[in-house]
Amino acid sequence: MLPPVNSAHRRTLGPIATPNRLLLGPGPSNAHPTVLQALARTPIGHLDPLYVELMGEVQELLRYAWQTDNRLTIPMSGTGSAAMEATLANTIEPGDTVLVAIKGYFGLRLADMAGRYRANVVTIEKPWGEAFSLAELEEAVAAHKPKILAIVHAETSTGICQPMDGIGDLCRQHDCLLLLDTVTSLGAVPLYLDAWKVDLAYSCSQKGLSCPPGLGPFTMGPRAEAKMMARQGKVPNWYLDVTLLNQYWGSDRVYHHTAPVNMNFGMREALRLLADEGLEAAWARHRCNAERLWAGLERLGLELHAPEHLRLPTLTTVRIPEGVDGKAFTLHLLNQHGIEVGGGLGALAGKVWRIGLMGYNSQPENVDQLLNLFETELPAFRPAAAPAAVAV
């Protein structure tokens, strides 16, 4: 006889109810309504011929968004961090030297992940608000002779965009793979993977692509593919093993795992919308709205953390004025106005706000609404002025 059901942890809940938020933080951003409609469609099988056709469309559209012809271009079934790990898991062999150029929080994550795959991790660092020069990278590559140089294109923690001129050529000269984090740039900031000679890149679904979190775009060029195929042992992460995933996303369509069908519905629509707008138009829209935000913040007397020539149009870091409780202000915006603005990470924790204008959210009306709230609400969070001295 079966025992009675234990109801100790049972409680009655109503249907899920979440408020509408305007997500102007470092991510996720609000998904496009058309994408949300696609997510709500009835699922089909992950080996259904119609789904297999859709998989090909997603790959084609991702290649356009990244400006690459890489055969191995797929959305990993996982968040951007899974795609980040996939670039390392598939190409690192124990003892490989991996040079990580750190200028923010996500460079630190790359170094941590590489070490877990038993790489010889070497790091170079810049202050959080600066970018690397080609000369600095060249000196480090020549000194350490890495198998992989990993660098973040769009550093979400600092709002810095890394200039890419010459880095790919440098890596080719030293027989080194170039790995690029494009989490906060794909779909919103100029990206030319093939022209830049990038060998590995990853991104996410929830920022410039206007899709909810859950998929991690991944791409691997011929040089990286050759290194992966020449490795002495199996890829040490079964789920992220591209030699296996290639059989599912390639021409064979051999079962590997149950793909998140509806997330790929959403990704397909997000990428279609981007293609319909056109990459250059999308990049220009993000730049125009970012400049509108920057000018407005500076008119209000606020200081931007990143120098203008290195600023990301997707993520703006604003220095919190002296005496202001930055977290209290962001909680006020969230609780009273339904707007999310991010705080600082790592070395910038408590020092900056992070404002995201990504994908569907990069609109002038969102910029104006936020600027109005900074103008009208922030004064209440500034320290009271000291009383004027009384003349005797």
- How far is Cα 306 from Cα 129, in angstroms, rounded to an integer? 5
Q: In percent, how much of the chain has pLDDT > 70?
A: 98
Q: What is the 3-state secondary structure (H, E, C) of 128-160?
A: ECECCCHHHHHHHHHHHCCCEEEEECEECCCCE
Q: Which helix (H) or strand (E) holds 299?
A: helix 279-299
Check whether 119 has a pLDDT greater than 60: yes
In the chain, the domains with their CATH numbers are 22-26+279-381 (3.90.1150.10), 33-275 (3.40.640.10)
Ramachandran sector of residue 115 (left: φ over 0; alpha: ψ -120 to 50; beta: rest): alpha
- How far is Cα 25 from Cα 362, in angstroms, rounded to an integer? 12
> Residue 217: what pLDDT?
98
For the residues 277-292, what does the mean pLDDT come to?
98
> Residue 199: what pLDDT?
98
The answer to whether 116 touches 100, Cβ cutoff 8 Å, is no
Q: How far apart are the first and last CA of the chain?
A: 94
Q: Which of 51-55, 172-176, 339-343, 368-372 has the lowest mean pLDDT?
A: 51-55
> Residue 48: what pLDDT?
87
When the pLDDT of each residue in the chain is averaged and rounded to a whole number, the result is 95
Check whether 8 has a pLDDT greater than 70: yes
> Residue 137: what pLDDT?
98
- Model confidence pLDDT, tens digit, residues 259-271: 899 999 999 999 9
> Residue 392: what pLDDT?
37
Cβ within 8 Å of residue 179, ≥6 positions away:
87, 88, 91, 110, 148, 149, 150, 151, 198, 199, 200, 201
For the residues 11-36, what does the mean pLDDT come to?
94
Check whether 242 has a pLDDT greater than 80: yes
- Model confidence pLDDT, tens digit, residues 178-216: 999 999 999 999 999 999 999 999 999 999 999 999 999
For the residues 117-133, what does the mean pLDDT come to?
98
> Residue 386: what pLDDT?
38
Centroid of chain to Cα 196: 19
Cβ within 8 Å of residue 32, ≥6 positions away:
210, 211, 269, 270, 273, 359, 360
SS3 281: helix
- How far is Cα 101 from Cα 360, in angstroms, rounded to an integer? 31
For the residues 250-277, what does the mean pLDDT come to?
91
Q: Which helix (H) or strand (E) holds 289?
A: helix 279-299
